[in-house]
Structure 1
Amino acid sequence: MPRWRIGYRTIKTAIGAALAIFIAELLELEFFVSAGIIAVLCISVTKKESLRASWERFVACLIGLGYASILFEVIGYHPVSIAVIFLLFIPTAVAVGVKKGIVTSVVIMLHLYMYETVSVSIWVNEVLLIVIGVGVALIMNMYMPSAEKPLILKQVKLEECFEKIWREYSRYLRDGDTSWDGREIAVASSFIEEGKSLALKNVDNHFLRHDDYFYHYFKMREKQLDIIERILPFISTLDRTVVQGEKIAVYMDELSQAVTPGNTAGYYLMRLDELRDEMKEMKLPSSRTEFEVRSSLFYILHELEEYLLIKKMFKPDPKRTRTISGKRLNRDSHKRNTN
């Protein structure tokens, strides 16, 4: 059963609807409650979405008023007229790109049906209802809670999963330990999807800057996780009797200690080249089994290189890197104090 709670959007919707109705009633507008309905419909999850929705509803309402004013006067004020208006208005709204305003416009057009006449004062009344509803919604949407902290938290948790995965790969290669259930791979995938979704909302909450750092970060980790998953079946073909496996295990231990938002890929690519050169100098395989093992090893090295190149192309944000590093230090300090 979903947990019952009152979120910030619910609070904004309640306040916005009440404020819009209060202003419309204060101005003695007809159908003043419609201002509250418009305000509720225009409150969205992001600032940019709210602006787009408000603009669409405003334009759609003006188009709807135009259709209703002409057709009601020409055909008359009866249900058939409403059907004709909808048949013309809805395709027009979709063609113009303001389909989100269809429902709001229907409310406004039906006001004319109830008036059974069209006049300048009625138009002024309806336009004021639209302006009040849209305006109050825009004001309410100026406040959006910062997604920075939740995004940083997901980033830290995701990197903990990556650290765990590399450590478990290393343990298998070194000790043949098969107790790991691979849970961190599924958890990491979940963090990535949640992080991308939240990052996109964060981008849409900034009008003057395109802050897409977190989205690119989670996309980068998504590509790396694909590589981690591809490596898994090849890791399982190796055993601890292979000396090269021990070397790769040591390297993966080093990788597990370097999963950070900062870019340390250059150093580990250099270490990877050294490891590849070292393996090339070893004796050629003398059996089919040894050949298959050696092939798996070189495939793993190739995938590790791809993993690091993806990170190398990512441009970290120095400010956020310092913030996240600070959180890591605090977390590690807390662990030491509680152990």
Structure 2
Amino acid sequence: MKIGFRTIKTAVGVSISILLAQLLQLEYYSSAGILTLLCIQKSRKQSTQAVISRFFACLAGLLFSSVLFTLIGYHPYAFLVLLLVFIPLCVRMKIQEGIASSSVIVMHVYMHRKIEAAFFLNEFLVILIGLGVALLVNWYMPSIDKELNRCKEEVDRLIAAILKEMAAYLKEGYTMWDGKEIIQLGDALNQAKRLALLDAENNLLRKASSYEAYFETKRRQFEILDRMLPPISKITVQMEQGSRIGDFVLELSGSLGNNDSTDQFREKLHAIREYHKLLPLPESRHEFENRASLYTVANELERFIQTL
């Protein structure tokens, strides 16, 4: 059995909330712990949004139920009217996240059966302690930089491996590659995207996430590599042009992450394409189709280089 950090924060937060509410001798003090439990989220942004929506929902539930129970009476059927009106109201106010939390307060109103200032103060303090402790406890988030850096290394490794396999096919016309790195790269990018989003939500004061931008670039590179596979697979013969582009792709795979070489690669690819223009025209349809596939590969390589 593994106990996660979020579980630990939830346990600590609930205990602190109940302790504070009990020390203040509040009625229904255990409900402060329930409110804290409902507000522990995966990120600071989600936690802040949860606390805000639950705070207004709880206040709305407190006032609305007090008025409704006074008019209709403290009877079970009053909940029918309450929920039919209150839930759409929360949705309209975009605080539907707080419906469950506000139900805790509504039950207090129903059980107390009296409208008095001391009760309203008690409920306000229960709400304040429960939500405030959740916000404070959830504000500490462990760094996920190590996980993100591991994702960066894995993504770069997979892209380099795919380029090497492409280069081998262009140079040799044969490879035993099963394409598993393409699937692994897609999965790695999806995981990286989730982590980068979590990192951004935990750093609310930072305008932009460098990780988000980095993995977005890698996503574009992945899409380009995926588009390159069909034209490469259509090349059925070894050609001097294919070997030349294969050498270029192999060199590119070994220089990923080196932004200083972008202009150099752009110039090399341009020189290769200019050289190909000087070659004699294809002598057969088969040769024409192979050279057309190489031309498509070269176009995608240009787009790839622009992302470096």
TM-score interval, normalised by the smaller of the two chains: over 0.9
Q: Which amino acid aligns with 2:134?
A: A
TM-score (norm 1): 0.88
Partners of 2:204 and 2:239 lie apart in 1 by 56
Superposed CA offset, 1:34-73 (max 9, x none): 0000001111111011111001000001111111111111
Q: Does 1:62 align with 2:59?
A: yes
TM-score (norm 2): 0.97
What does 1:134-283 align with in structure 2 at a 5 Å threshold? Answer: 134-239=131-236, 241-260=238-257, 262=259, 264-283=261-280
Indicate the SS of the match to 1:285: coil
Shift of residue 306 of structure 1? 1.2
Aligned to 1:102: 99
Shift of residue 209 of structure 1? 1.1
Structure 1 residues not aligned, in runs of 5+: 312-339
CA contact (8 A) 2:43 2:202 kept: yes
Shift of residue 210 of structure 1? 2.3
Indicate the SS of the match to 2:154: helix
CA contact (8 A) 1:199 1:214 kept: yes
Aligned to 1:325: none
Partners of 1:305 and 1:251 lie apart in 2 by 12
Indicate the SS of the match to 2:66: helix
Partners of 1:41 and 1:222 lie apart in 2 by 35
Shift of residue 261 of structure 1? 6.8
Shift of residue 196 of structure 1? 0.8
- Structure 1 window deviating more from structure 2 (195-204 vs 218-227): it is 218-227
Partners of 1:157 and 1:261 lie apart in 2 by 16
Partners of 1:95 and 1:267 lie apart in 2 by 57
Q: Which amino acid aligns with 1:294?
A: R
CA contact (8 A) 1:39 1:137 kept: yes
Indicate the SS of the match to 1:79: coil
Aligned to 1:314: none
CA contact (8 A) 1:202 1:211 kept: no
Superposed CA offset, 1:140-178 (max 9, x none): 111101121111110111000011111111111222332
Indicate the SS of the match to 2:256: coil
Q: Percent identity?
A: 39
CA contact (8 A) 1:169 1:252 kept: yes
CA contact (8 A) 2:173 2:238 kept: no
Q: CA RMSD in A?
A: 1.3
Q: Does 1:37 align with 2:18?
A: no
Partners of 1:113 and 1:259 lie apart in 2 by 65
Q: Does 1:122 align with 2:103?
A: no
Q: Which amino acid aligns with 1:268?
A: F
Indicate the SS of the match to 2:115: coil
- Structure 1 window deviating more from structure 2 (235-244 vs 295-304): it is 235-244
* Distance 1:11-1:263 versus aligned 2 partners, 3 A rule: farther
Superposed CA offset, 1:216-273 (max 9, x none): 2112111211111111121122245311011011001111011117464322111111
Partners of 1:164 and 1:130 lie apart in 2 by 55
Q: Which amino acid aligns with 1:181?
A: D
Pairs aligned (count): 308
Q: Which amino acid aligns with 1:249?
A: G
Indicate the SS of the match to 2:207: coil
Q: Which amino acid aligns with 1:265?
A: T
Shift of residue 212 of structure 1? 1.8
Indicate the SS of the match to 2:202: coil
Partners of 2:173 and 2:258 lie apart in 1 by 31
Q: Which amino acid aligns with 2:220?
A: K
Aligned to 1:336: none
Partners of 2:237 and 2:15 lie apart in 1 by 69
